[in-house]
């Protein structure tokens, strides 16, 4: 017999003892995960420093540092996706693209005992959502499926389609793992509910999935036949608009030949140093300022020297958006890129009003920064000539 659970919008009231216990357990889980990831960063960096002459080893160690950093980022995203109450931007997305990306990600670490099947229709299935959240949603469900299959293996299938009316997008993730017992099923969407061992799960995966589905005005349902199969079925309102294509990645020929001058503003010495090295490596001239007023002074003193300002968002005294606004008043054509973590800076539209040309989310890949620089400098050239 199969049982099912649908979303449980259990909004919290007061802090009960049980909740405090859960919170303690969660904090221990997160601390454990972060400690492991930091150990990975520290150990591999040390190894790379010792072995920098052995290119193969050093590269491998640095790739592992990158991997650990990505995992730490994912963990933080998971926690903040759940606690976040502000609105993150939604765009029209073709879910087929999200699934294609998931498939590529999963291919790397699915064990040979698992058969992964991804079915997508020939026609686009678009929804209004946030791409990284949708990615997170699909990954969380797939990860649960894979964990359920374990070493024994089985099949994990992801199926995208629409309902009969064509007005709703339907996404199904199912696995042939051990299933979910009927007494547990009603609790799986609860934040911090997990049956996994310390360090293997924080119990936030499905709570985050549930919240993302809710934010998109959709529904989710879990059905399980213990010993045979578990299916998560999501329905989201379909959008009939066409997605806006992403700008193509820059090629080496797109990189600046004439060494544009960038003013880098960041109060964190480590980020400033890293930013400077990245910009040099991309072929720019770099000047640095430690805060907003110093940056303003520098632009006032050399009004025609800088081609672009690249600034952190959260800084004491003057924030990145405030700096953008003040610079806009004196040099409205100077491109401004804001580097921001989560949503500490306000909505995209508001920031553009302040004179922010491009927004780069932290932590970023060098490629996305390169693309933002290119876009901002390209747009500035167009208005100038
Ligand atoms: N496909 C599945 N098969 C069997 N059990 C599942 C499946 N998906 C979820 N569960 C059960 O639901 C619980 C909650 O899942 P959820 O994704 O929220 O947290 P988690 O996987 O335990 O931890 P995290 O996702 O934070 O790493 C799991 O611990 C597991 O007991
Ligand atoms: Mg999970």
Q: Which of 83, 104, 127 marks a domain boundary?
A: 83
213 CA to centre of ligand 2 in angstroms: 16
Same domain, 110 and 215: yes
Please report, to the nearest 10 degrees, the dihedral formed by the alpha carbons of residues 341, 70, 251, 355 taken in order. 0
- Integer Cα distance of 385 and 383 in angstroms: 6
- The model's pLDDT over 75-108, given as tens digits with 9 standing for 90+, comes to 787 777 776 655 677 889 999 999 998 888 787 6
Closest CA to 351 of 323, 382, 380: 323
**Structural domains of the chain, count:** 3
pLDDT bracket for residue 140 (50, 70, 90):
very high
Q: Are strands 168-175 and 229-239 parallel, antiparallel or unpaired?
A: antiparallel
262 and 373 housed in the same domain:
yes
Q: Which residues pair with 248 in a beta bridge?
A: none
Identify the nearest ligand to the CA of 148 by its number.
1
**CA 206–ligand 1 middle distance (angstroms):** 7
What is the mean pLDDT of the segment spanning 332-355? 80
To 5 degrees, how large is the angle CA 142–CA 93–CA 355? 120
Nearest-CA residue for atom 27 of ligand 1: 201
Q: Name the strand (E) or helix (H) holding 365.
A: none
Tell me the average pLDDT of the chain. Answer: 85
Residue whose Cα lies nearest atom 9 of ligand 1: it is 144
**pLDDT score at 254:** 55
Atom of ligand 1 nearest to the CA of 195: 29
Nearest to 371 by CA among 201, 250, 218: 250
Cα–Cα distance for residue pair 380/377, rounded to 1 Å:
5
175 lines ligand 1 (CB under 6 A): yes
- Regarding whether 263 and 150 lie in a shared domain, the answer is no
Residue 160's H or E segment, with its range, is: strand 154-162
Nearest ligand 1 atom to alpha carbon 173: 1
Omega prior to 315 cis, within 30 of 0: no
Half-sphere exposure of 34 (CA within 13 A, CB side): 10
The residue among 83, 105, 134 that closes a domain is 83
Task: Clarify whether residues 113 and 201 are in a common domain.
Answer: yes
Percentage of residues of the chain with pLDDT beyond 90 = 48
Probe ligand 1: pick from 7, 144, 154, 226, max atoms within 8 Å of CB? 144
CB 2 within 8 A of CB 224: yes
**Containing domain of residue 216, as a range?**
91-239
**Can you give the pTM of this predicted structure?**
0.63
> Is 25's pLDDT higher than 60?
yes
Alpha carbon of residue 104 to chain centroid:
16
In a domain, 115, yes or no: yes
CA-closest candidate to residue 84, choices 348, 372, 344: 344
Q: Are residues 231 and 290 in the same domain?
A: no
Is 189 near ligand 1, meaning CB less than 6 Å away? no
> Is pLDDT above 60 for 198?
yes
| Residue at 349 is within a domain | yes
Residue 245, domain member (yes or no):
no
- Is the confidence at residue 373, as pLDDT, over 80? yes
- 3-state SS of 236-270 is EEEECCCCCCCCCCCCHHHCCCCCCEEEEECCCHH
Same domain for 222 and 104: yes
> Rounded to the nearest whole angstrom, what is the distance from the C-alpha of residue 13 to the centroid of ligand 1?
24
Distance 271 CA to ligand 1 centre (A): 36
- CATH number, position 360: 3.40.50.2300
Q: State the pLDDT at residue 361.
A: 85
Per-residue confidence (pLDDT) for residue 107, from 0 to 100: 79
Residue 133 half-sphere exposure, CB side, CA atoms within 13 Å?
27
Pocket of ligand 1, candidates 203, 225, 231, 234: which has the most ligand atoms within 8 Å of its Cβ, to mutate?
203
pLDDT band at 13 (very low <50, low <70, confident <90, very high): very low
Q: Is the CB of 206 under 6 A from ligand 1?
A: yes
Q: Whose CA is nearest to atom 20 of ligand 1?
A: 203
- pLDDT tens readout for residues 270-312: 888 888 888 988 889 999 999 999 999 999 998 889 999 999 9
Question: Which residues have a Cβ under 8 Å from the Cβ of 240 and sit 6 or more positions away?
Answer: 126
Question: Do 126 and 221 fall within a single domain?
Answer: yes
Q: pLDDT tens digit string along 28-61?
A: 777 877 887 888 899 889 989 988 898 888 888 8
Range from 223-227, 254-258, 378-382 carrying the lowest mean pLDDT: 254-258
Q: Please tell me the number of the ligand nearest to residue 199's CA.
A: 1
Q: Is the CB of 193 under 6 A from ligand 1?
A: yes
Is the C-beta atom of 142 inside 6 A of ligand 1?
A: no
Nearest ligand to the C-alpha of residue 198?
A: 1
Ligand 2 centre and the CA of 385: distance in Å? 52
* Of residues 314, 274, 262, the one with CA closest to residue 291: 314
Q: Worst-scoring range by mean pLDDT, 114-128, 181-195, 320-334, 356-370? A: 356-370
For range 201-215, the mean pLDDT: 89
Report the C-alpha gap between 292 and 332 in whole angstroms.
17
Q: Give helix 366-384 / helix 269-281 axis angle, nearest 10°.
A: 70
For 41, phi then psi, to 5°, come to -65, -50
Do 279 and 303 contact (CB within 8 A), yes or no?
Answer: no
Is residue 244 domain-resident?
no
């Amino acid at each position: 017999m199969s049982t099912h659970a649908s979303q449980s919008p259990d909004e919290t009231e007061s802090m009960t003892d049980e909740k405090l216990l859960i919170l303690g357990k969660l904090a221990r889980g997160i601390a454990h995960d972060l400690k492991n990831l930091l150990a990975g960063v520290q150990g591999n960096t040390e190894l790379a420093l010792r072995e920098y002459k052995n290119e193969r080893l050093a590269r491998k160690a640095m790739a592992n540092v990158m991997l650990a950093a990505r995992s730490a980022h994912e963990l933080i995203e998971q926690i903040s996706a759940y606690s976040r109450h502000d609105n993150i931007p939604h765009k029209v997305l073709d879910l087929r693209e999200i699934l294609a990306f998931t498939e590529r990600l999963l291919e790397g670490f699915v064990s040979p005992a698992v058969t992964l099947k991804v079915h997508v229709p020939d026609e686009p299935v678009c929804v209004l959502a946030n791409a990284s959240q949708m990615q997170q949603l699909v990954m969380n469900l797939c990860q649960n499926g894979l964990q359920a299959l374990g070493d024994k293996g089985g099949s994990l299938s992801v199926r995208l389609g629409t309902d009969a009316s064509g007005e709703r997008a339907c996404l199904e993730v199912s696995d042939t793992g051990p299933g979910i017992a009927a007494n547990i099923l009603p609790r799986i969407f609860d934040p911090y509910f997990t049956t996994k061992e310390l360090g293997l799960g924080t119990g936030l995966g499905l709570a985050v999935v549930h919240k993302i589905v809710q934010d998109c005005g959709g529904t989710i349902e879990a059905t399980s036949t213990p010993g045979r199969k578990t299916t998560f079925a999501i329905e989201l309102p379909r959008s009939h608009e066409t997605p806006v294509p992403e700008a193509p990645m820059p090629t080496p020929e797109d990189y600046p030949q004439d060494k544009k001058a960038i003013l880098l503003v960041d109060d964190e010495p480590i980020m400033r140093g890293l930013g400077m090295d990245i910009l040099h490596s991309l072929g720019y001239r770099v000047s640095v300022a430690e805060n907003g007023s110093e940056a303003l002074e520098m632009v006032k003193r050399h009004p025609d020297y800088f081609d672009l300002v690249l600034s952190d968002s959260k800084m004491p005294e003057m924030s990145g958006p405030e700096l953008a606004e003040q610079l806009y008043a004196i040099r409205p054509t100077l491109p401004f890129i804001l580097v921001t973590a989560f949503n500490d800076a306000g909505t995209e539209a508001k920031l553009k009003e302040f004179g922010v040309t491009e927004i780069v989310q932290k932590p970023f890949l060098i490629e996305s920064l390169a693309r933002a620089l290119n876009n901002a400098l390209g747009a500035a050239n167009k208005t100038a000539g």
